[in-house]
A and B are shown apart, each in its own frame.
Chain A
Amino acid sequence: MVRRIFPWLLLPMGITSLYLAFVVAPPEATMADRQRIMYFHVASAWNAYLSFLVVFVASIAYLRTGARRWDRTAFCSAELGVFFTSIALVSGMVWGRSVWGKWWVWEPRLTTTLLLWFIYVGYLLLRATGEGDERRARMAAGLGVIGFVDVPIVHMSVKWWNSYHPYVIGLTKVDMVPMMVVALVAAVLTFTVFYVYMLDLRLHMEHLRERTQILKENLLQGGMR
């Protein structure tokens, strides 16, 4: 269902959110049009959080049940999480260069986000290099659970420590004019649908890869007999 309906939703949703972000939303008072990158930067960061939440839940489910589908879900979601974190980091660097005059500053939000990126790149490396399917999957699930601890730290780092990073989206308030909020919500919704669609495609691809592998092994055994 997702594979059939979601692309037709994504096309108008993406175009609408681009129109809201570039044409409808007003320029920000101090940063002017440079602030428009925020709509896609925040949406990417939100999707990174969501991806790693799915890794966390799927990893716990795998450790409890040992079912392969949970391991597959965690792996595919971690790949997407690294992809969205990379977009958030790069778009944040472009924004930082135009607003602060520097590509990178070692401040709490940026540093904890980079740490998050490294944790999940490590997770993917573990998946690629660890030995034994079962053992590797259990180790990766452990890292998937522990690694998630960094997500709330990333989000709260702006509040907990002195940070240059703007804090416009709190747990209880959003510090923006209404049209900016509408553009941001549209971007977040579009990116969320995009994530679900990509996860479904990636899971299906992984399922086909496993089926092909089993078929190949069966054919080889048949040939040797």
Chain B
Amino acid sequence: MAPLPLSTLKWLFFGYAVIWAGIVLFLMNMGRRQERLERQLDDLERSLKR
């Protein structure tokens, strides 16, 4: 099998890089939502103790 031309490999790299960025941004957003939930839980626990 002949090697692929460099331009095709660059497009493949670009496509996968976009997918990767999407995955990382999704996880970052999940981390932020967890922190928000943790703050809400803290507030709820404090108000229940009072």
Binding site for B on A (CB under 8 A): 3, 7, 10-11, 14-15, 18-19, 21-23, 27, 31-34, 197-198, 201, 204-205, 208, 211-212, 215, 218-219, 222
Contact = CB atoms under 8 A, between A and B. Distances in A.
B37 A208 contact: yes
A205 B34 contact: yes
21 contacts: A3-B31, A7-B27, A7-B31, A11-B24, A14-B21, A18-B13, A19-B13, A21-B13, A22-B10, A22-B12, A22-B13, A32-B4, A33-B4, A33-B9, A197-B27, A201-B27, A201-B30, A201-B31, A208-B37, A218-B48, A222-B48
A32 B31 contact: no
A32 B2 CA distance: 7
Contact of A7 (B6, B28, B41): B28
A92 B36 CA distance: 39
B41 A32 contact: no
A18 B16 contact: yes
Interface residues on B, range: 20 to 34
Contacts of B13: 18-19, 21-23
Interface residues of B: mostly helix, strand, loop or mixed? Answer: helix
A32 B48 contact: no
A21 B38 CA distance: 39
A204 B3 contact: no
Interface residues of A: mostly helix, strand, loop or mixed? Answer: helix
Nearest to A14: B20
A22 B15 CA distance: 11
Nearest to B1: A32
B41 A211 contact: yes
Interface in B1-50: 1-4, 6, 9-10, 12-13, 16-17, 20-21, 24, 27-28, 30-31, 34-35, 37-38, 41, 44-45, 48
Contacts of B2: 32
Contact of A27 (B3, B38, B44): B3
Nearest to B4: A33
The 5 closest A-B pairs by CB, nearest first: A22-B13, A27-B3, A14-B20, A7-B28, A32-B1
A34 B9 CA distance: 12
A204 B24 contact: no
Given A7-B28, A32-B1, A15 B9 contact: no
Given A22-B10, A22-B12, A23-B13, A208 B45 contact: no
